[in-house]
Amino acid sequence: MKNRILVCAGTSGLSAGAGEVIEIFKSELKRLNLRGKFNLVKTGDRGLFRDVLVDIITDGKRVTYEHVKPADVKKITESHLVKNTPAAALTAGKSYEEFFANQTRVVLKNCGEIDPENIDEYIGTGGFEALKKAIPLPPEKIIDEIKKSGLRGRGGAGFSTGLKWEFCHKEKSGVKYMVCNADEGDPGAFMDRSILEGDPQSVIEGMIIAGYAIGANEGYIYCRAEYPLAIERLNKALKQAEERGFLGNNILKSDFSFKLSIKKGAGAFVCGEETALLASIEGKRGTPKPRPPFPAQKGLWGKPTVINNVETLANIPHIINNGADWFSAIGSAESKGTKVFALAGKVRNTGLVEIPMGTTIKNLIYGPGGGLKSKRSKLKAVQIGGPSGGCLPETLLSTPIDYKALAKTGAIMGSGGFIVMDEKTCMVDIAKFFLGFTVAESCGKCVPCRIGLKRMYEVLDKITKGRGETRDLDFLKEMCETIKSTALCGLGNTAPNPVLTTLKYFRREYEEHINNRVCDANTCVELVKFEVIEEKCVKCGKCSTSCPVGAIEWEKGRTAEINKEKCIKCMACFAACDFKAIK
Amino acid sequence: MNIDIEKAEKIIKKHAAEKGALIPLLQDMQTEYGYIRADAVKLIAEKLDIPSVEIYEVITFYAQFRTEPPGKHTIKVCQGTACHVMGGKQILNYILTTLKVKENGTTTDGLFSPERVACLGCCGMAPAIMIDNDFYGNCTIQKVDEILDGYRKKTG
């Protein structure tokens, strides 16, 4: 096999300049006359945010470079490709190893390793072997295998995938549909995008197998319009799969035919909900419907439909290839397999992490995450599951990440958002933030969600502005419980979770806001005084230079002073001051 | 100004036979004209034989569709969780203050249309903004000033 140069070029890589890096590599290979010796491969993102990641694999030996700037490429080629000595100053450090060594990569296995736009690379890693294995089997056998594996939906609710398939398989209907939910809308979750950008064929293979198992001949991938690169790569992947006979009529010379097309979402979070998603594919407003009937009975255009999320489908080929027992050996007693999390916030290594279910929250933060970003800060909370999830305090760090254990805390597995917060994050503000999101995204069909969430938001807004009253907390709690039990769909049912969990674990912060009109995190700007604390000020003038509107008067040797009339409360001075001298 | 009927008809024709055609059709219209024009809606209603109100129902439901012409550069300010924790709200407020414009509005010089987005999926570079198709990560107020100046110079 030829030597390979891998450049991570998913949305993250490209935004950090991977496109330019690739171009320079190209011209360097030409200049050094090495085009015959090296394959330059444009891969998806591997998951770690390290600007541009480049791997050079020569004779099976791999060297990884991180933070590669266009100007560095020449240094790498001159030293590594010509003299065969890696450019040591640019190679990836300890945190890179720490990030990857602590993972179990199943669905992310190919991300950052293969060219997603070339089906041969996928086939080279064992791609479509699962389909070849599945097609001669009776559908019931495949469904049994998936049921036995214990795979549950990775999109949020965590329903058994095998059962869902079985319900649909049993429906008697000439027309059925298989739908992939790629409307990843949770702020802070982007694993589905990375899988689609880095390994689209794995999702397509999963869909074809699912289609065969349930008896559908037609499928849709409903993808967010905000993911243009994923859509582009999916389109290419579909075309190549058709050319190779994995899609279309008589797949692998069998009687089974399957057609796949892409539907672009138009920007509505609620469309991640199954029945709303189907309405949107039908070209209507994406509003949910009461269930039953479930989509497996009456779904798209009234026909039995299975909807699976991207990460769920990417697991399917692996289960078929390696068997249900292999899959169920990974994870905890309650939850099988792995889960991808989008690690972000105040943690050192940010990016996508795939870990076995049952790993504790602590091991995720201090293993792949490498601990907190700044040694000086203290971990305050972890937010799991986005707008449907909850904020867990430090005392619950030993909670294992599985469906049951997380549900017990009041959070949910959700789609895999995982945000680490320190003392600079205000929990009341976070609750308000998520509620602001769900208020904006509520479709308005049912009263609890449309009006209830709005009333809750107003109360939280009042508290963050220093106008809260003690009785507000009881009101919030009552509203949460009512909405949870009466809203029409998952969006409304879970929207109170961020408020409930912060009330449960961080009640003191709410009380501080209400009783003392203080926001310790200095996040609620209405409660911030914007005054310099004379005893703490070292008269360095950093705040003054950081102020974009010139509202801070300072001269050498003098304590700075903030002109409140000019101040736009942008918080730039808080960020600039190293001595916490502004209150 | 009237729309180029021929082009619009072509877009409609492309999708007419498709199941669930309305959303892809509107998306193509917006790509063509930058926003959904009232005369385009009228034309779709005629050709597909659906009431205009049903088309507006869809347009107003989805965040992607706009009924006003956008500025030269669209600024998407990420308000995802990671960006929020890292100061994304301050970045949005600053952009609105310094450009003297409301969310989803357009600056008087027609140059910028800032809007909030739920998540750009660049949580590792929080706070992040996206101008047209380019990402800018780890934003600070100073950095935002430099970026905006860059676009002003490019255009001016």
Sequence-separated (6 or more) residues with CB below 8 Å from residue A170: none
Return the axis-axis angle of helices A200-214 and A161-170, rounded to nearest 10°. Answer: 40
Q: Two tokens at A388?
A: 């449907």
* B123–chain A nearest CA distance, Å: 6
* Chain A residue closest in CA terms to B66: A266
CA triplet A308, A317, A225: central angle to 5 degrees?
40
What is the pTM for the complete model shown?
Answer: 0.93
Residue A65 forms beta bridges with which residues? A54, A91
Under 8 Å between Cβ of A171 and A349 = no
* CB within 8 Å of A458: residues ≥ 6 apart: none
Strand partners, A336: A331
Q: Which residue has the tokens 């290839």?
A: A321
Please say if the pLDDT value at position B2 is more than 80.
Answer: no
Query: Going by C-beta distance under 8 Å and a sequence separation of 6 or more, which residues neighbour residue A291?
Result: A275
Contacts B124 to A, Cβ<8 Å = 12, 49, 344, 350-351
**What pLDDT was estimated at residue A16?**
85
DSSP-derived secondary structure letter, A107: T
If 0-12 CB within 10 Å is exposed, 13-18 middle and 19+ buried, where does residue A36 land?
Answer: exposed
Would you call B135 and A15 a contact, using CB atoms and an 8 Å cutoff? yes
Is A190 in Cβ contact with B62 (below 8 Å)? no
Q: Among A190, A227, A268, select the one facing B62 at the smallest CB separation.
A: A268
Q: Are the C-beta atoms of residues A398 and A359 closer than 8 Å to each other?
A: no
Cα–Cα dist A207/A316, whole Å:
8
Locate tokens 């991938």: which residue? A221
Contacts of B137 in chain A (CB under 8 A): 15-16
Helices (H), B1-140: 5-16, 22-33, 38-48, 52-61, 81-85, 88-99
For Cα atoms A109, A113, A119, give the angle at the middle one, nearest 5 degrees: 95
Q: Which residues of A touch B81 (CB under 8 A)?
A: 187-188, 344-345, 383, 386, 417, 419, 433-434
Give CA–CA dist A518/A521, Å, rounded.
Answer: 9
Residue B134 pLDDT > 90, yes or no? Answer: no
What are the tens digits of pLDDT across the range A530-577?
999 999 999 999 999 999 899 999 998 889 999 999 998 888 899 889
Mean pLDDT of chain B: 90
Beta strand A379-384 with B73-78 is unpaired
Question: Which tokens is A188 given?
Answer: 């802070």
| Contact list, B28 vs chain A (CB under 8 Å) | none
Which range, of A334-343, A364-373, B122-131, averages the lowest pLDDT?
Answer: B122-131
Count the alpha carbons within 13 Å of A204 in the hemisphere toward its beta carbon: 33
Looking at the predicted structure, is the pLDDT value of residue A6 above 70? Answer: yes
Q: C-alpha dihedral over A452, A457, A462, A463, to 10 degrees?
A: 110
Which tens digits make up the pLDDT trace of A14-72? Answer: 888 899 999 999 999 999 999 999 999 999 999 988 889 999 999 989 999 999 999 99
Q: Which residues contact A309 (CB under 8 A, 6 or more apart)?
A: A153, A154, A155, A156, A180, A181, A182, A192, A415
Residue A415: predicted pLDDT: 85
Tally Cβ neighbours within 10 Å of residue A252: 15
Q: Report CA A119 to chain centroid distance, whole Å.
A: 25
User: Does the distance separating the beta carbons of B24 and A575 come in below 8 Å?
Assistant: no
Q: Cβ of B149 under 8 Å from any chain A Cβ?
A: no
* pLDDT tens per residue, range A112-134: 999 999 999 999 999 999 999 99
Please list every residue in chain A whose beta carbon sits closer than 8 Å to the beta carbon of residue B84: 187, 430, 433
Q: Write out pLDDT tens, residues A423-450.
A: 989 999 999 999 999 999 999 999 999 9
**How far is C-alpha A82 from the chain's CA centre?**
39
Of the listed ranges A414-418, A495-499, B42-46, the one predicted with least confidence: A414-418
Average pLDDT over residues A170-193: 93
Cis before A292? omega within 30: yes
* pLDDT at position B1: 53
The reported pLDDT for the residue numbered B3 is: 66
DSSP 8-class letter at A254: S
* Residue B21 touches chain A, beta carbons under 8 Å: yes
DSSP H stretches of helix in A77-138: 94-101, 119-124, 129-134
Put simply, the answer to whether A188 touches B119 (Cβ < 8 Å) is: yes
pLDDT, residue A225, reads 85
Predicted local confidence at residue A201, as pLDDT = 98
CB pairs under 8 A between A and B: 143
Q: What is the DSSP string of A409-449?
A: HT---TT-EEEEEETTS-HHHHHHHHHHHHHHH--S-SHII
* B112 and B75 Cβ atoms separated by less than 8 Å: yes
Q: What's the pLDDT tens digit per position in A218-267? A: 999 999 988 889 999 999 999 999 999 999 999 999 999 999 999 999 98
How close A155 comes to chain B (CA, Å)?
A: 16
Note the pLDDT of residue A29.
96
